[in-house]
Amino acid sequence: MTKQMNEKELITIEHIEQIIPEDTDYNFYFGPAHSGSGNFGVKLRIDGEKVTSARADPGYLHRGFEKLMEYRVPMQNAVLSDRVCVLEALNWNLVHAEAVDELTGIEVPQRARYIRVLMAELSRLQSHLIWYGVMSLALGFDTGFKMAFGYRDYILDIFELITGGRVYPAGYICPGGVRRDLPDGSEDKIKRVLDQTEEMMQKMKDFDNIVFSKRTRGVGILRTEDAIRLGATGPVLRACGVKTDVRKDDPYEIYNELEFDIPVREEGDAYARCLIRGREMEESIKIIKQVLNRIPQGNIREPAKITPPSRVKIPEGEVYVRNELARGEGCVYMRSVGGREPYRVKIRGPDFLHMIPVLEHLLKGAEIADIPAIYWSLNICPADMDR
């Protein structure tokens, strides 16, 4: 509703209030088809430039894994388990294989355990490289994106050599051991790839002062008591001062025989989370070098031939397995009544807690320009939230 103003009238405050509307609240759907948000939507309520409330809207990638796994035998479920979150497929293979091994009571051979740890740590390295690339892209730094995905390709060449596929290893880590042995000459190739990854990490340190620290310092601070109450695990919790890692507290495979450190920081902001992931990559390279020196000879799978599906039997029982994935704590609860298929499988991914309670808590009160830094510093994967 505007009043007619001619040149002779002075513009007063009452005139301005009649032209500009009073409320500046609006809804903003940062949605699943948005180029800055992955496959996940957040409904934001924004006042001017500040977010007043956020509500997560999951379900874009819900495929019903827990019910799909009730109709297939464990060897087929191993192929299905790498699609829970494709960015760290070998780590999810490992969680599922450990659950079935503990139910059946099979003693996995030592060589298979060392190969499992080797592949899991390589998968953690390439997952952190994806995180670095996507975070740089979201903050506007395109060169970091291209370098990270270029150096990640060398690790994918190793996966192609050992498992037969670059991105989907098709249940390479299966119940009872691993599916194939390491080909000849793979140890030298892995050492060469580790040198190339160290080159990339040196470049990441050089970029540090310019882009990351200015946009991520002091942004998205998560306090310790909030972190445990909201269910954060993994690097998000270690950035708040809690020194915990499932590989040290609840060891599985051969991690209790290896030496590595756990990086911890006190500040709890996005910058601390970024630095912790850089340090975790260094620790992973240390672990891989130790494994390559100590790997024994032997066979690689306990029932050496695959059992036909009509003769498979899982003994009765229930088990809960916890693993340290690149993103946090990943767990599987499996219950069996003595049939061919598991009776109930519950998959708990780290991102179920990071993307709904933690994100809603951190986005409240943030500016729009800080949203990419907060969102991508949590290293989310919508696939293991929705399953």
Helical segments of 164-297, H only = 186-206, 213-216, 224-230, 235-238, 246-249, 270-294
Nearer to other proteins, 79 or 221 (CB): 79
Instruction: Beginning with the edge strand found earlier in the chain, give each strand of the sheet holding 41-47 in spatial order.
Output: 25-30, 41-47, 50-57
Decide: 381 and 87 in contact? Cβ < 8 Å. yes
**Which residues inside 160-199 make contact with other proteins, applying CB under 8 A?**
160-161, 164-165, 168, 170-171, 179-180, 183
Name residue, tokens 């009160």.
365
Alpha-carbon gap, residue 187 to 154, rounded angstroms: 14
Q: Residue 372: name the closest of 61, 46, 28, 30 by CA.
A: 30
Alpha-carbon gap, residue 368 to 316, rounded angstroms: 52
Does 316 participate in binding other proteins (rule CB under 8 A)?
Answer: no
Which range of residues in 13-21, 58-66, 134-142, 270-278 is near other proteins by CB under 8 A? 58-66
Backbone angles phi, psi at 72, to 5 degrees: -130, 150
Contacting other proteins (CB under 8 A), which of 36, 150, 218, 339?
150
Three-class SS state of 111? helix
Contacting other proteins (CB under 8 A), which of 4, 6, 202, 310?
310
Does 210 participate in binding other proteins (rule CB under 8 A)?
Answer: yes
Contacting other proteins (CB under 8 A), which of 221, 344, 364, 368?
344
Nearer to other proteins, 44 or 372 (CB): 44
Decide: 86 and 93 in contact? Cβ < 8 Å. no
Angle between the N-to-C axes of helices 89-104 and 74-81, in degrees from 0 to 180, rounded to the nearest 10 = 160
Nearer to other proteins, 47 or 70 (CB): 70
In whole angstroms, the minimum distance from the beta carbon of 324 to other proteins comes to 13
**Which residues inside 235-294 make contact with other proteins, applying CB under 8 A?**
242, 244, 249-250
Does 340 participate in binding other proteins (rule CB under 8 A)?
Answer: no
Which range of residues in 42-50, 91-99, 115-123, 305-313 is near other proteins by CB under 8 A? 305-313
Does 59 participate in binding other proteins (rule CB under 8 A)?
Answer: yes
**Which residues inside 88-147 make contact with other proteins, applying CB under 8 A?**
none
In whole angstroms, the minimum distance from the beta carbon of 250 to other proteins comes to 6
Amino acid at 316: E
In whole angstroms, the minimum distance from the beta carbon of 246 to other proteins comes to 9
Decide: 75 and 82 in contact? Cβ < 8 Å. no
What lies within 8 Å, CB to CB, of 277 at 6+ separation is 128, 131, 132, 235, 379
Does 386 participate in binding other proteins (rule CB under 8 A)?
Answer: yes
Nearer to other proteins, 47 or 153 (CB): 153
What stretch of H or E contains 89? helix 89-104
Positions that interact with other proteins (CB under 8 A):
58-59, 62, 64, 66-67, 72, 75-76, 79-80, 150, 153, 157, 160-161, 164-165, 168, 170-171, 179-180, 183, 206, 209-210, 228-231, 233, 242, 244, 249-250, 305-306, 308-310, 319-320, 322, 329, 331, 333, 335, 343-344, 346, 348, 352-353, 356-357, 361, 386
